[in-house]
Amino acid sequence: MVALHEKGTEQTMAEPAPATEQNEGRRIEMLRAAAELICERGFGETRIADVAKRAGVSSALIIYYFGTRDRLLVDALRFSEESFYEAAEKMLAEVSSLRKRLSLLIRWTCVPESDDDIPGAWGLWFDLWAQAFRHNEIKAGRVELDARWRKMIVDAIRSGEDAAELKTTVDARMFALEFAALLDGLSIQVALEDPEVDSDVAYDIAMRFAERELNLAPAAKRG
């Protein structure tokens, strides 16, 4: 029998139950509930009891599956990021136009509630960055996810309609590094409602950068 102890309003446990095919569905429900609450309230204000209520389970069951509050929340952040990348990769694979692919990448990061919405939210991304600054476990996960995001950008430009020409004129890896950093910075400005950088301005800044670096002719109109 696993010993539990109280810590404030939360219960903690030494080791979580191992993930299995039998409990995967229930675990996902809990992770999804935790991700929703982190997005709404922030990492620091999300409690096991709140997640349990949202998921329709007991706090003891969440502790059984995840062991600690921090483990639950870290796994929820990773779950959300994985959901984002899986959906993004599938959507990009269905589009051959390089400009359309660039437009999707920009909208996902700089335009709130766009028509191309996929799983993921600014609140989760920002909390993930903040926690990665303080926790090595999250930092390692963030490194992996950043690498996946940059690879997605590289693949998007290397397999587009203009791929053959770009291979000889563009350093895809360097473009991905610069483009990803630009999108991260712009997303923060838009999320914080900077009076000079709204989503339209951010979109145009990012698209103009991509056009210059990839030698694309400017679009006749935005999007």
In this prediction, residue 113 carries a pLDDT of 62
Is residue 222, in this structure, part of any structural domain at all? no
Is residue 121 within 8 A of residue 133, CB to CB? The reply is: no
21-56 tens-digit pLDDT: 667 788 999 999 998 898 888 888 899 999 999 999
139-173 tens-digit pLDDT: 887 888 889 899 999 998 887 666 655 655 789 99
Considering its fold, how many domains does the chain have in total? Answer: 1
Is residue 221, in this structure, part of any structural domain at all? no
93-143 tens-digit pLDDT: 898 889 999 999 999 888 876 544 444 567 777 887 888 888 777 788 788
pTM: 0.76
Is residue 97, in this structure, part of any structural domain at all? yes
Average pLDDT over residues 63-73: 89
| % of the chain exceeding 90 in pLDDT | 37
Which alpha helices (DSSP H) does 94-159 contain, by range? 98-110, 122-134, 136-158
For 1, 27, 96, 136, the CA distances from 15, given in Å and listed in that order, are 12, 15, 46, 19
Is residue 223, in this structure, part of any structural domain at all? no
Average pLDDT over residues 167-188: 89
Q: Is the pLDDT of residue 1 over 60?
A: no
Is residue 177, in this structure, part of any structural domain at all? yes
Is residue 220, in this structure, part of any structural domain at all? no
Is residue 58, in this structure, part of any structural domain at all? yes
Residue with tokens 């929820």: 76
Q: What CATH number is associated with residue 90?
A: 1.10.357.10
In this prediction, residue 220 carries a pLDDT of 62
- Domain range for 42 is 5-214
21 vs 78 pLDDT, higher one? 78
